């Protein structure tokens, strides 16, 4: 960071007024870490050249407490979340935009750590932040910093990935343990007197999505963020009018996640992940996809955890007759997983 950016230890409203302090903040901190040939802090737009392929476009917002947690920060989370939305659509992320909403009084030291983690995550994912905006809100009207991002990626337009492709008999795969991010953030707050060394799973899922993209029987992919696995399954059941059937014995869950959920009464199937993929693959190619995932580090704990079942959705015991998600328990019984209505944890992604 240049010397002028260090004149103040904390963010002030002047850092968002469009004048000298704002320029020093943008050039001395954000541009310092996020610099690339396309980033021009003097202009409000950027001209991009993309290959002659289909473009995937996404946008997202990020707020988390605490801003720094085991395995990441709100900065790296913003990059991973945007990259992952493109990756599960079958796209290769290319360019991102960044909007920062900074609260008056935030320390430059913490903001620098967050922006640095953002730069590292972008570099690892192979994406460039090419445009953005900065706002400063009065003290007490924010939570340190919020980020809003948009992302563009390119994909093969001939590769269809959507819920309409899903068929009865298809298998449900997950790329790793569930609920790690939500639990790690909760432990970092130390609200319940609980501590642990669990790391968030926040990471780019691009290696996972690219590994199975050419599997002929791949129907659909989604990253289970807010609402976790259960919410993704409800989306699938609602869209396909088919039953999503899960096998509890096959679902990978970290021992610390299970322990925390047992103590606090949470269900890990509803907790957020930030570096996992749920994939629906035909029965014939499911084992092939699983082997491809398990051959790479980020997919070493991948499992086939369920299947899509046809016929009428069973609605006699559930509130919403439009969706049916059934968990077959370790003891051989069954229970319906209802759709999430309340946040399992406040603001974890």
> Does 281 score more than 90 pLDDT?
yes
Domains and CATH numbers, the chain: 3-155 (3.30.1330.10), 163-336 (3.90.650.10)
> Does 149 score more than 80 pLDDT?
yes
| pTM score, whole prediction | 0.87
| Lowest-pLDDT choice from 37-51, 210-224, 248-262, 325-339 | 37-51
The mean pLDDT value for 234-246 works out to 93
Label residue 348 by pLDDT band (50, 70, 90).
Answer: low
Predicted local confidence at residue 344, as pLDDT: 54
Count of CB atoms within 10 A of residue 212's CB? 24
- Please tell me the distance from the alpha carbon of residue 252 to that of residue 120, in angstroms, as a whole number: 28
> Does 197 score more than 60 pLDDT?
yes
Average pLDDT of the residues of the chain: 87
The mean pLDDT value for 221-235 works out to 93
- Please tell me the distance from the alpha carbon of residue 174 to that of residue 309, in angstroms, as a whole number: 18
Contact 247, 335 (CB under 8 A): no
Predicted local confidence at residue 189, as pLDDT: 80
Task: Give the whole-number percent of the chain exceeding pLDDT 70.
Answer: 87
Q: What is the full DSSP assignment across 106-143?
A: -BHHHHHHHHHHHHHHHHHHT-EEEEEEEEEE-TTSSS
> Does 25 score more than 70 pLDDT?
yes
The mean pLDDT value for 77-94 works out to 95
Q: Which residue has the higher pLDDT, 31 or 181?
A: 181
Q: What is the pLDDT of residues 42-78, one digit of tens each?
A: 656 566 777 678 889 999 999 898 999 999 999 999 9
Closest-CA residue to 186 (of 286, 90, 106, 261): 261
- Please tell me the distance from the alpha carbon of residue 27 to that of residue 43, in angstroms, as a whole number: 13
Predicted local confidence at residue 75, as pLDDT: 97
Whole-number Cα distances in Å, 6 to 21, 41, 131, 281: 11, 20, 24, 53
């Amino acid at each position: 960071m240049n010397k002028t950016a260090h004149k103040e230890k904390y963010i002030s409203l002047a850092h968002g007024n469009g004048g000298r302090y704002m320029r020093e903040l943008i050039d001395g901190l954000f541009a310092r870490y996020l610099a690339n040939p396309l980033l021009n802090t003097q202009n409000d737009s950027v001209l991009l050249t993309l290959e002659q392929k289909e473009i995937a476009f996404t946008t997202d917002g990020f707020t988390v407490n605490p801003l720094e947690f085991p395995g990441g920060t709100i900065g790296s989370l913003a990059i991973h979340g945007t990259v992952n939305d493109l990756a599960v659509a079958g796209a290769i992320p290319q360019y991102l935009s960044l909007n920062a909403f900074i609260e008056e009084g935030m320390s430059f030291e913490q903001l620098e750590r967050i922006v640095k983690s953002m730069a590292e995550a972008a570099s690892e994912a192979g994406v460039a932040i090419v445009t953005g905006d900065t706002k400063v809100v009065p003290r007490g009207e924010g939570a340190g910093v919020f980020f809003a991002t948009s992302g563009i990626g390119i994909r093969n337009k001939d590769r269809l990935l959507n819920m309409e492709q899903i068929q009865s008999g298809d298998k449900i795969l997950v790329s790793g343990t569930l609920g790690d991010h939500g639990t790690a953030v909760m432990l970092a707050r130390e609200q319940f007197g609980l501590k642990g060394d669990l790391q968030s799973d926040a990471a780019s899922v691009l290696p996972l999505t690219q590994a199975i993209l050419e599997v002929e029987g791949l129907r659909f992919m989604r990253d289970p963020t807010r609402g976790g696995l259960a919410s993704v399954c409800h989306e699938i059941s609602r869209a396909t009018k088919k039953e999503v059937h899960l096998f509890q014995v096959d679902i990978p869950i970290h021992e610390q996640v299970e322990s925390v959920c047992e103590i606090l009464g949470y269900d890990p199937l509803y907790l957020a992940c930030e570096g996992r993929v749920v994939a629906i693959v035909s029965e014939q190619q499911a084992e092939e996809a699983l082997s491809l995932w398990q051959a790479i580090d980020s997919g070493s704990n991948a499992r086939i955890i369920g299947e899509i079942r046809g016929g009428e959705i069973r609605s006699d015991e559930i509130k919403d007759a439009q969706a049916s998600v059934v968990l077959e328990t370790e003891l051989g019984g069954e229970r319906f997983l209802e759709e999430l209505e309340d946040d399992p944890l406040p603001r974890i992604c």
